[in-house]
Amino acid sequence: MFELVFQVLVYGVIIGAVYGLATMGLNLIWGVMRVVNFTHAELLTLGAYTAYWAWVLIGLNPIASIPLSALLGFVIGIFIFYIIIYRLLFSPDIHSTLVATFALGVALAELMKVLWTADYRGVPWALGVIKFSWFSIPITYVFTFISCILIIIIVYFILYRTYFGKSIRAVIWDSGAAAICGVNVKATLALGFALGSALAFIGGSLIVIYLPTGINPYMGHLYLLRCFVIAVVGGLGNPWGALAGGLVLGLLEQVSPIVLGYIPGVEPLSLTPFLSFLILIIVLLIMPEGILGRRR
Amino acid sequence: MSSRAVSKTIAVIIAVIVIIAIAAAAMVMMPPAPSPTPPPPPTSPITTPTSPTTPKTTPISPTPTEKIPSEIRIGVAIQLSGAQVVEGSASFMGIKCAVQWINDRGGVNFKGVKVPLKLIYYDCESKRDYAVKLVEKLITEDKVDIVIHPYASTVIMATAPITEKYKMFSVQFGGSSDALYQQGFKYMVSTHGFAILHYWSTPFTMIKEADPTAKKVAIVFKDDEWGRSLGESARTKAKNFGFEIVYDRAYPPDITDATPMLREIAALNPDILCVGSHYKDGYLIATQLRDLRINIKWVIAQVAVAKPEFGDGLGKWAVGFIGETTWEPECKWEIIAAREGKEYYGPTSDELVEYYYKLGGKGRPSAYTGYGAIAVLVAAKCIEVAQSLDSDKLIEAAKTLDFYCVKSRFKVDPENPAKQIGSINPVVQWQRGEGDKLVYAVIYPFEFATSKPIPMPKWEEKEGWPELKP
Amino acid sequence: MEDVGDAVKKYSGLILIYLLLILLSLISTAYLEIVYYVLFLMVISQSLNIIMGFGGLYNFGHAVFIGIGAYVFALLVVQGLNPYISMIAGGIVSSAVAFLIGIVVLRLRGPFFAICTLSTVPAVKYLIIGGKIAGGAAGITLFRYLGEAYNPYMLTYILLISSVAITILTLKVSASPLGYSLKALREDHDVAETSGVDTTRCKIIAFIISALFPGVAGGVLAFKIFWVMPETVIDLTWSIEAILIVLLGGSGTTIGPIIGAVVYEVLKDLLMRYFPGLQLLIFGLLVVAIISVAPEGIVGLLKNRFKRLRSFLI
């Protein structure tokens, strides 16, 4: 019993950390500019492809390709922001950014399909496992977890120890007041979006470690529901909310199949995503600001 | 009401009446659904009135002395791009190879003359809607004699009604869903084995022989139509073979993490693990079995194992996985045909491979090549036996056939030609060969097997091995 | 003062398009297929227009209604019910489900509504698969019940009638108190509330209406593909296409989605011929362009450029 609980906890936390990291970008972008970035899924996919091509062309393992992903994500984020988002931020219709990012996502997925075909690709990176008598965990998972921690620390530094981070936090809190205080809001928004994009790319690269094969242009959709649940449950405006949400979901995905297994006539593993959706609805209804969001 | 409102309302009513009148007139004047039989219960008037001059919609009318055509047109709508490009183009290559093989020998024997086959094909881009459109086009505009359906059961379920509507003899090679022979299709033959009928029996037979102590079976399968059939098949066969089923669960089709499930299975300590998977999920489960260091003596995983990518990706860790396949270049069904005294028709596997490279194929030909080839071979054989292009004669001919070809045996249920009953799945296993090679071995049928089945070596043992190369 | 002439002018655009579609469908079976797809998209886009165009609520989960209609159709047909009645039943059940979803989801605003509705699509899929409802992942096959009765002309004309019906509905709603209330709450929800508009009631009614015809269309779809399973009838693509078409044509107008559907399908067909595989890519970019440059869609563009067409473009 103890072994089971321990395994569930360890796996849940490790996977949850990656989910959380992958979603942090979503929370950040919402916090900074009140835009739900529906392109998020495709940014994740692009990050995964970055890791793949880095592996195939340069021989970098997914963790080593994180700086590359981050850089690419950042640049592409700036690009997307200036070309599309900025125009629409002040339009009277609040749905413009929603639909635009969604459409952009569709376009990106199709572009990937044209460039790289819909074949499944994988990065078969394996380093062996650490084995206890009842429990084994792949070394790659451990490295991933450590990288997550490191990246979280780096993000923390950026947000709390740099001017840029300070301006982001200011804009999240109140963009009008920030402008009065001399913050260059436009630049901050751009950099905030770029940072969110970079985080999505990094998340995508890390996810590759869990997915031995299956990188394809549409893989983002697999994580779409998960990311929304995490973002909302954790608290949309708060990047750390994503981590909280990620942990919740990671543990849920490990525990729920066991619990649901007691209900006859259902398939517990297939029903788990539905369960996460129910949680999404409940949270949206009674606590839309999420666990770590600002109480309005 | 003000006069404005009145006129507006009148205008609207006029418009609506006009539209409905035209629509009704169009419906009445339309050629009716060519089905002279009354509809099944409940008897509500759903068939449109049959006009007495309904033409029989087969391309060549069954006159007593049929003309000998200059070519026999085979229509194919296939996935040459899109999500199923891999399966579609590989199958299409098989089709082309078989057509070429037949034409190189002059063609099909038709009333004493050799008539070549002509392939008319379109890319349906892996979209079911296009496939339906294209099959309709092939029949009505291109006037083909026989249709070969695209790959994938869900697509065939949509294109079969079209070929049935026109009473067109058709062959399906790429649908293994049992639903396909439960619909009452009258003019379609299947060449592919079905999950419930054909899968799992041979691996189970072999395991029982090699390891009589094996008792406990765990079954997992993908929660989609294909996976569910595999799961059901495994369940039934396991019971028939006297195994004890200790675990029986589905996993979501786009699963990204099977560890909760695998952990539960590990705790139950089964002797056999049956994975009713497709490629991606099968591969995922294999890697996670490795990562969790779960040792099970016999692991059978469908689809994923029977692909070279499995060995490429997993290397030495792939050793021990068993899978069922449909065609491999090593197959030599002619041996079995000779032994059973049955006819062998068409190219041997070696010849097929030869044509594969001749027509530009690269790398090792995949199983799908066999899928496509048998479709053409069956069509040709039916023509030769029926000596006619009339659909009724062709389907009657199909019901009498029992022969071997490059993709094992073809025999359909005479009551239900869409039900293939003769097909045999070869079984493969990844093994460690001489000189640290990774070998993709055929272990069944024994007549052309390259080695014997082995239980899965423990992960800890494989850790000590050097990297194996194919 | 308006007379019959003006009224006819106003509706002639619509009538023209419908006549054109009918004529096209009679040319050959190939054209019939195209008209079928145009009408399918038309019906679902026009329905979406009611909640999205008038109410300003971007329902990303619109595809769910089609799926529900398809499933209800399949379940009833298997029991032996007449397929055409089953289609209507599909529409009714779809509306009922819309009511249930609506009372929960319509409280949410803007992006939250979008996220939630977007999530309903995979959620319903997994509910059916995981809960093994109506055959679970394997679904229900229909050919043996319906094969003999298959008549593509009938299916296309059912869609045509549905489209006409919803056009009339849209016109009526547009000029009705419900319509004005919806447009008011689209512009500013809180002001509308304080002005006395019962926003909840309006939103729910609009939502229910928007689910009716996609439900019927779901039945038609099931009849066409003969195999109802989560993979084939619950497809996010339709949500995307519906939103795209409403925006492309002109959100909130009556003729907008109609024009949008025709343009979209024609473009798609052309692209299929000359740039196979690139359709969605180009459309994604198209939508982005429209949002940035022409948020009023084709109708808006035409109204601005060709003032004389204004009376035709309702």
Please, which residues 235-254 of chain B have a Cβ atom closer than 8 Å to chain C? 250, 252-253
- Chains A and C form CB pairs within 8 A to the count of 139
Chain A CB within 8 Å of residue B223 CB: yes
Q: Does C272 touch chain A (CB under 8 A)?
A: no
Phi, psi for B248 (deg, rounded to 5): -155, 95
**DSSP conformation letters of B369-405:** HHHHHHHHHHHHHHHHHHTS--HHHHHHHHHH--EEE
E strands, chain C, are 140-141, 227-228
pLDDT of residue C85: 93
Going from N- to C-terminal start, the domains of chain A cover 10-218
Half-sphere exposure of A237 (CA within 13 A, CB side): 17
Beta pairing class for B117-123 and B113-115: unpaired
**CB of A110 within 8 Å of any CB in chain B?**
no
Region of poorest pLDDT, from B19-28, B108-117, B271-280, C171-180: B19-28
- Amino acid code (one letter) for A146: I
Distance, in Å, from the CA atom of B319 to the CA atom of B289, rounded to the nearest integer, reads 13
- Residue B344's φ and ψ, nearest 5 degrees, are -115, 125
Residue of A nearest to B248 (CA): A267
Type of residue found at A254: Q
Concatenating the DSSP letter of every residue in A132-166 gives -SS-EEEHHHHHHHHHHHHHHHHHHHHHHHSHHHH
**pTM, 2 dp:** 0.84
What residues does B251 pair with on adjacent strands? B222
Instruction: Measure CB to CB from residue B223 to each of A15, A118, A270 and give the nearest one.
Output: A270
CA distance, residue C131 to nearest chain B CA (Å): 11
- Report the distance separating Cα B398 and Cα B378, nearest Å: 8
Alpha helices in A34-127 (DSSP H): 40-53, 66-80, 86-89, 96-116
Q: What is the pLDDT of residues B423-459, one digit of tens each?
A: 888 999 999 988 888 889 999 888 888 899 999 999 9
Query: In this complex, which of A124, A136, A210 lies closest to B293 when CB atoms are compared?
Result: A136
Q: Tell me the C-alpha distance between A127 and A205, whole Å.
A: 17
Separation between Cα atoms, residue A31 and residue A199, nearest integer Å: 15
Asked if the Cβ–Cβ distance from C114 to A98 is below 8 Å, we say yes
Which pLDDT score, from 0 to 100, does residue B54 have? Answer: 38
Helix (H, G, I), strand (E, B) or coil at C80: coil
Here the ipTM equals: 0.84
Joined together, the tokens standing for residue C99 give: 């009511």
Tell me the chain A residues in contact with residue B256 when contact means C-beta distances shorter than 8 Å: 210-211, 214, 222
* Structural domain boundaries in chain C: 2-311
pLDDT digits (tens, 9 = 90+) for A159-170: 888 888 888 888
Chain A hits for B264, CB-CB cut-off 8 Å, are 258, 261
Q: Does B86 touch chain A (CB under 8 A)?
A: yes
Q: Which two tokens stand for residue C147?
A: 């094969």
Question: Sorting pLDDT into bands at 50, 70 and 90, what band is B22?
Answer: low
Nearest residue of chain B to residue C151 (CA atoms): B33
pLDDT of residue A294: 64
Residue partners of C14: CB distance under 8 A and separation at least 6: B15, C167, C254, C255, C258, C314
Phi, psi for B101 (deg, rounded to 5) = -60, -45
Architecture of the domain defined by C2-311: Orthogonal Bundle (1.10)
* DSSP classification of residue A54: I
For residue B267, pLDDT over 80 is answered with yes
Distance from the Cα of C271 to chain A's closest Cα (Å) equals: 14
End-to-end CA distance of chain B: 86
Structure tokens at C275: 């740039």
How much is the average pLDDT of B254-277?
A: 90
CB contact under 8 A, A265 and C280: no
CA distance linking residue C172 with residue C174, whole number of Å = 5
pLDDT band at B94 (very low <50, low <70, confident <90, very high): very high
Note whether C183 and C252 are within 8 A (CB). Answer: yes
- What pairs with residue A17 in β-bridges? none
Residue of B28, B43, B183 to mutate, testing the C interface (most C Cβ within 10 Å of its Cβ):
B183
C284: exposed, middle or buried (Cβ count in 10 Å: 0-12, 13-18, 19+): buried
| Strand-strand pairing, B113-115 and B170-172 | unpaired
Please answer yes or no on whether A131 and B293 come within 8 Å at the CB atom: yes
Mean pLDDT of C48-61: 91
Distances (CA, A) of A171 to A296, B276, B353: 17, 52, 65
Q: Which range among A148-162, A257-271, B50-64, B175-189 shows the weakest confidence by mean pLDDT?
A: B50-64
pLDDT of residue C10: 72
Interchain CB distance below 8 Å, B224 and C151: no
Question: Are B192 and B424 contacting, i.e. CB atoms less than 8 angstroms apart?
Answer: no
pLDDT of B48 reads 38
Average pLDDT on B78-96 reads 88
Residue whose C-alpha is closest to residue B425's, from B323, B338, B347, B356: B323
Nearest Cβ partner for C82 among B35, B42, B132: B42
Residue A78: the pLDDT is 92
Is B25's pLDDT higher than 70?
no
Which residue bears the tokens 């881009």?
Answer: B125
Which residue in this structure is represented by tokens 């954790």?
A234
Where is A210: in which H helix or E strand? helix A185-210
Contact assessment for residue A40 and residue A271, using Cβ atoms and an 8 Å cutoff: no
Q: Which long-range contacts (CB under 8 A, 24 or more apart) does A173-181 make?
A: none
pLDDT digits (tens, 9 = 90+) for C220-232: 999 998 899 998 8
Residue C3 tokens read as: 């007379």
Identify the pLDDT of residue B61.
43
Query: Which residue of chain A has the CA closest to C113?
Result: A284
Please tell me the distance from the alpha carbon of residue C138 to that of residue C78, in angstroms, as a whole number. Answer: 15
Asked if A124 lies within 8 A of B86 by C-beta distance, the reply is: no
- Cross-chain residue pair A84–C114, CB shorter than 8 Å: no
CA–CA distance, B280 with C131 (Å, rounded to integer): 23
Sole residue written with tokens 């003999």: C148
B454 interfaces chain A, CB cutoff of 8 Å: no
Q: What are phi and psi of B441, to 5 degrees?
A: -100, 140
Cα distance between residue B300 and residue B289, in whole Å:
13
Residue B37 has pLDDT above 70, yes or no: no
Chain B residues 114-133 within an 8 A CB cutoff of chain C:
123, 125, 128-130, 132-133
CB-based contact A129 B249, cutoff 8 Å: no
Show Cβ contacts of residue A201 under 8 Å, excluding neighbours closer than 6 positions. A43, A44, A46, A47, A50, A69, A70, A72, A73, A76
pLDDT tens readout for residues C113-126: 888 898 899 889 98
Q: A259 falls in which pLDDT band (50, 70, 90)?
A: confident
Q: Which of A53-67, B197-211, B244-258, C89-103 has the highest mean pLDDT?
A: C89-103
Query: How far apart (Å, rounded) are the C-alpha atoms in residues A30 and A26?
Result: 6
Residues from chain C contacting residue B32 (CB–CB below 8 Å): 151
pLDDT at B427: 92
Residues B263, A7: C-beta atoms closer than 8 Å: yes
B261 closest CB neighbour out of A119, A214, A269: A269
Interface of B with C in 9-38 (CB under 8 A): 10-12, 15-16, 18-20, 22-23, 26-27, 30, 32-33, 35, 37
Question: Are the beta carbons of B115 and B72 closer than 8 angstroms?
Answer: yes
As a whole number of angstroms, the distance between CA B453 and CA B70 comes to: 50
Residue C185 to chain B, least CA–CA distance (Å)? 27
Question: CB neighbours (10 Å) of residue B65?
Answer: 6
Picking from B157, B288, B96, the residue whose alpha carbon sits closest to that of residue C140 is B157
Check B10 against C82: CB less than 8 A apart. Answer: no
Mean pLDDT, rounded, of chain A = 85
Q: Using alpha carbons, list the distances in angstroms from residue B120 to B76, B382, B390.
A: 6, 19, 19
Q: Does A289 touch chain B (CB under 8 A)?
A: no
Q: In chain B, what residues touch A129 (CB-CB under 8 Å)?
A: 291, 293
Structure-token match 């543990």, residue found: A251
Mutation choice for B interface testing from C226, C228, C280 by most B CBs within 10 A: C226
Q: Residue type at B193?
A: G
Give me the pLDDT at residue B9, please.
58
Mean pLDDT of chain B: 84
Of residues B41 and A136, more confidence is placed in A136
